[in-house]
Structure 1
Amino acid sequence: MRWSAPGRVNLIGEHTDYNGGLVLPIAIPQRTTVTATRRDDDLIIARSSHGDPAEVELADVGPGSPSGWTAYVAGVLWALRRDGLAAGGLEVSVDSDVPVGAGLSSSAALECAVALAADDLFDLGLGDSDEGRARLAAACVRAENEVAQAPTGGMDQAASLRCREGHALLLDCRSGATEDVPFALGAHGLTLLVVDTRVQHALGDGQYGSRRAACERAVETLGLDSLRDLEPADLAAVEVRLDEETFRRVRHVVTETDRVRRCAERLRDEDFAAVGDLFVASHASMRDDYEISCDELDVVVEAAVERGALGARMTGGGFGGSAIVLVGADHADGVREAVERGFAERGWGAPGVFEVTASAPARNEP
Structure 2
Amino acid sequence: MFLTPIYPPLKGGAAVHFEQITSGLIERGVIERAVVLTCFVSLSRAVERNESKTIFRLLIPPQSMDGPFPRIRAGYNRLITLFAVVVFVLLTPVSIVHTQTKRYYEWGVYIAKELGSTVVIEGQDLGSASFAARGDFFVAISKNVADAAKHRTERIVQAPVGIDFDGFPDPDSECRPTEEDYILYVGDVARRKGVDALLDAHRSLESEERLVIVGEVVDADLLSSIEGAGGVKYDGAVPHDTVIHYMANAELTVLPSREEAIGRVPIESFSVRTPCVCPPDVPEYQEYVPHLVLSRVTAEDIRRKMDELLSTEHVELSYPVERHRVENTMQHYVSMYRTHIERQ
Normalised by the shorter chain, which TM-score bucket?
Answer: under 0.3
* Structure possessing the higher relative contact order (Cα contacts under 8 Å, 6 or more residues apart): 1
The TM-score normalised by the length of structure 2 is 0.25
Higher strand fraction (1 or 2): 1
